């Protein structure tokens, strides 16, 4: 080993007195977490019009209406929360929108302005359930490999698939847990892995049924932050949620609130409080707006459901900015002044009470009609700024282009999405992937392995003992048959 003095070291590395000026510290910026390697997908706007869902209860003639003619619009690039009291119909709406429920439904669901094709829609969407459906005996890396092998077509090479896995795990902060068994992950990590498994096919529409249930407040925040990030990437992210904290609530872009199967608010989360205020529903300044709107929907502040449903036209209206309810506010102010004047003039008091709500509403609606976004009209065709043409490049990836012409509602989707094939891989390939996975489960689950081995040996021994030494006796044909039968069965 060389005798190497400290002075020599400084000199060699230009760190001595003379070299100090030459030292250039290099600051390497942290790489932003991105999902660059995923297959390209077109953004999808979803709209539903006059959705009614009925179920038959007990007696066949008795039908229960769960959703009562609701409309709404879910845009790409936005994180939308579906909220409402328990039993309001949130899960039902989510199941219908995600294509899980398809019968007993009236009304329509459109995708980028065109009638929804369920088979195409299923390829473009992902539904992440409340309870994480993970295989506990696989590591994170193995679960992701199985997902890429099942969900991606054969045109993706192994290297490309691995890049995708690395990309997703890095983005979802799961890289350091890639060798951990999924059963050992924490609640938040399991939720992130469920999302990671779905992200493999990069679905532009993602549904989440109560993604924050069972998570502590900090993990809830991380989870919603992740959903927000996915939405910021151009995806349409929709989730049902039970009374989020004020901090979580303001992370959502859009809110869709249901009460008794009807829409009581649709619009920006920021506009909720001022909108309610125009209807004389004042959210106390110290109160969480999310809790307040649930309380109002539950009827804790009086019965305002009808007023809200009519003001928002059961979801046909969308409160995006203060301009969308300016007319309502002006009208309410005017009515307040009129009421005050009527009292001062000591006019007939019945007029005052009569004009309180029902009369106002007709006038308000008249003003609102001209001022708020009419989503039903909008979704009949694509608005020019939202119109997209999706073409495929030579690799078959979808390329998105913005078309300013009016007539482009029939956007082209990538070959993979529009192909009549239900799955991107062949049935034989799927069988092979699932078989390998099952063998890995059996290998890892020793209790099951030992039990099976023991059971096979025991049954073999019993059958062997029962039919011992009968093979050469011609009079024992039936016993031979019985032996063959039991051997085949076991
Ligand atoms: N198949 C069905 N038969 C009878 N009633 C049903 C059926 N499906 C849903 N419901 C009823 O419809 C209503 C809405 O159910 P849904 O699960 O959509 O409510 P939710 O808003 O998601 O409630 P929670 O927040 O408690 O999960 C409930 O009253 C439920 O009992």
* Nearest-angstrom CA–CA distance, 101 and 209: 14
pLDDT, one tens digit per residue, over 148-205 is 988 888 788 888 888 888 888 888 888 888 899 988 888 888 888 988 888 888 888 9
Q: Burial code of 312-342, b = ≥16 C-beta within 10 A, e = fewer?
A: bbbbbbbbbeeebbebbbebbeebeeebeeb
Pairing mode of beta strands 63-74, 46-56? antiparallel
* Nearest-angstrom CA–CA distance, 227 and 220: 11
Determine the angle formed by the axes of helices 446-466 and 477-489, rounding to 10 degrees.
Answer: 180
End-to-end CA separation in angstroms for the chain? 71
* Nearest-angstrom CA–CA distance, 222 and 212: 10
Which residues make Cβ contacts (< 8 Å) with residue 17, sequence separation at least 6? Answer: none
CA of 66 relative to ligand 1 center, distance in Å: 7
Pairing mode of beta strands 373-374, 317-318? antiparallel
CA of 132 relative to ligand 1 center, distance in Å: 21
What residues flank ligand 1, with Cβ below 6 Å? 55, 57, 64, 66, 84, 86-92
Least confident interval from 67-76, 144-153, 281-290, 315-324: 315-324
pLDDT, one tens digit per residue, over 118-155 is 888 888 888 988 777 788 888 999 999 999 988 888 78
457 burial type by CB count under 10 A (0-12 exposed, 13-18 middle, 19+ buried): exposed
Pairing mode of beta strands 236-240, 254-259? unpaired
CA of 296 relative to ligand 1 center, distance in Å: 20
* Predicted-complex ipTM score: 0.96
> Who wins on pLDDT, 202 or 70?
70
Q: Which ligand 1 atom is the nearest neighbour of the CA of 89? A: 18
CB 416 within 8 A of CB 424: yes
CA of 447 relative to ligand 1 center, distance in Å: 40
Nearest protein Cα to ligand 1, atom 18? 89
pLDDT surpasses 80 at 355: no
Which residues make Cβ contacts (< 8 Å) with residue 320, sequence separation at least 6? Answer: 267, 268, 271, 373
Nearest protein Cα to ligand 1, atom 5? 55
Tell me the best of 59, 66, 105 to mutate to test the pocket of ligand 1, counting ligand atoms within 8 Å of each CB and taking the most.
66
- Domain 46-134+203-315 sits in CATH 3.30.70.270: no
CA of 258 relative to ligand 1 center, distance in Å: 12
pLDDT surpasses 60 at 27: no
CB 281 within 8 A of CB 109: no
* Nearest-angstrom CA–CA distance, 106 and 99: 14
Record the pTM. 0.70
Q: Which ligand 1 atom is the nearest neighbour of the CA of 258? A: 21
Q: What is the pLDDT of residue 396?
A: 41
Q: Burial code of 383-407, b = ≥16 C-beta within 10 A, e = fewer?
A: eeebbbebebeeeebbeeeeeeeee
Residue listed under structure tokens 């020599």: 8
Nearest protein Cα to ligand 1, atom 2? 55
User: Could you tell me how many residues make up the chain?
Assistant: 490
Q: For 162, how many CA atoms within 13 A lie in the half-sphere containing its CB?
A: 3
Number of Cβ atoms within 10 Å of the Cβ of 232 = 13
Task: Report residue 63's pLDDT band, with 50, 70 and 90 as the boundaries.
Answer: confident
Q: What is the pLDDT of residue 419?
A: 62
Kindly state the tokens that stand for 398: 């979808």
How much of the chain exceeds pLDDT 90, in percent? 17
Tell me the best of 89, 100, 211, 238 to mutate to test the pocket of ligand 1, counting ligand atoms within 8 Å of each CB and taking the most.
89
pLDDT surpasses 70 at 309: yes
Tell me the best of 90, 101, 238, 243 to mutate to test the pocket of ligand 1, counting ligand atoms within 8 Å of each CB and taking the most.
90
Q: What is the pLDDT of residue 37?
A: 60
> Who wins on pLDDT, 215 or 369?
215
Task: Report residue 312's pLDDT band, with 50, 70 and 90 as the boundaries.
Answer: confident
Nearest protein Cα to ligand 1, atom 29? 87
Q: Which ligand 1 atom is the nearest neighbour of the CA of 84? A: 21
Beta bridge partners of 72: 48
Q: How far, CA to CA in Å, does 319 sit from each of 93, 178, 215, 271?
A: 20, 43, 31, 7
CA of 261 relative to ligand 1 center, distance in Å: 10
pLDDT surpasses 80 at 9: no
How much of the chain exceeds pLDDT 70, in percent? 69
Question: How far from chain centre, in Å, is Cα 276?
Answer: 27
Nearest CA to 77 among 318, 324, 386? 386
Candidate ranges 8-12, 120-124, 349-353; pick with highest mean pLDDT: 120-124
Q: Name the CA radius of gyration of the chain, rounded.
A: 31
Pairing mode of beta strands 79-83, 254-259? parallel
pLDDT surpasses 80 at 210: yes
Q: What is the pLDDT of residue 60?
A: 64
């Amino acid at each position: 080993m060389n005798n190497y003095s400290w002075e020599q070291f400084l000199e060699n590395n230009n760190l001595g007195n003379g070299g100090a000026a030459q030292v250039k510290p290099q600051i390497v910026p942290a790489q932003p977490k991105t999902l660059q390697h995923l297959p390209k997908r077109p953004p999808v706007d979803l709209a539903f019009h006059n959705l009614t869902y009925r179920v038959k209860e007990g007696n066949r003639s008795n039908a229960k209406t769960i959703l009562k003619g609701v409309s709404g619009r879910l845009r790409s690039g936005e994180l939308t929360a579906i909220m409402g009291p328990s039993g309001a119909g949130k899960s039902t709406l989510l199941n219908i929108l995600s294509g899980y429920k398809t019968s007993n439904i009236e009304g329509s669901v459109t995708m980028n302005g065109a009638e929804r094709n369920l088979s195409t829609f299923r390829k473009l969407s992902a539904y992440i359930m409340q309870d994480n459906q993970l295989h506990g005996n696989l590591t994170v890396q193995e679960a992701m490999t199985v997902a890429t092998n099942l969900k991606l077509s054969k045109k993706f090479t192994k290297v490309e698939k691995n890049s995708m896995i690395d990309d997703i795990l890095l983005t979802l902060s799961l890289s350091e847990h890639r060798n951990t068994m999924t059963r050992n992950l924490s609640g938040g990590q399991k939720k992130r892995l469920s999302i990671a498994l779905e992200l493999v096919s990069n679905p532009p529409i993602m549904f989440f049924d109560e993604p924050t249930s069972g998570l502590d407040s900090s993990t809830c925040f991380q989870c919603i932050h992740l959903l927000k990030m996915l939405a910021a990437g151009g995806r349409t992210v929709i989730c049902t949620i039970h009374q989020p904290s004020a901090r979580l609530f303001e992370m959502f872009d859009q809110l869709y609130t249901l009460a008794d199967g009807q829409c009581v608010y649709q619009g920006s989360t920021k506009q909720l409080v001022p909108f309610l205020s125009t209807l004389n529903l004042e959210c106390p300044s110290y109160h969480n707006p999310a809790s307040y709107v649930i309380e109002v929907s539950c009827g804790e502040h009086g019965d305002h459901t009808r007023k809200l449903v009519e003001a928002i036209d059961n979801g046909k209206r969308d409160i995006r900015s203060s301009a969308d309810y300016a007319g309502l506010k002006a009208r309410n102010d005017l009515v307040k002044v009129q009421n005050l004047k009527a009292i001062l003039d000591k006019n007939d008091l019945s007029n005052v009470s009569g004009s309180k709500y029902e009369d106002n509403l007709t006038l308000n609606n008249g003003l609102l009609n001209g001022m708020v976004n009419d989503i039903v009209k909008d979704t009949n065709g694509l608005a020019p700024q939202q119109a997209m043409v999706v073409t495929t490049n030579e690799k078959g990836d979808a390329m998105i282009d913005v078309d300013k012409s009016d007539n482009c509602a029939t956007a082209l989707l990538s070959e993979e999405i529009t192909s009549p094939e239900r799955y991107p891989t062949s049935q034989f390939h799927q069988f092979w992937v699932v078989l390998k996975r099952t063998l890995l489960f059996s290998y890892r689950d020793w209790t099951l392995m030992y039990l099976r081995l023991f059971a096979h040996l025991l049954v073999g021994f019993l059958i062997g003992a029962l039919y011992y030494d009968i093979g050469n006796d011609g009079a024992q044909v039936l016993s031979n048959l019985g032996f063959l039968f039991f051997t085949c069965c076991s």
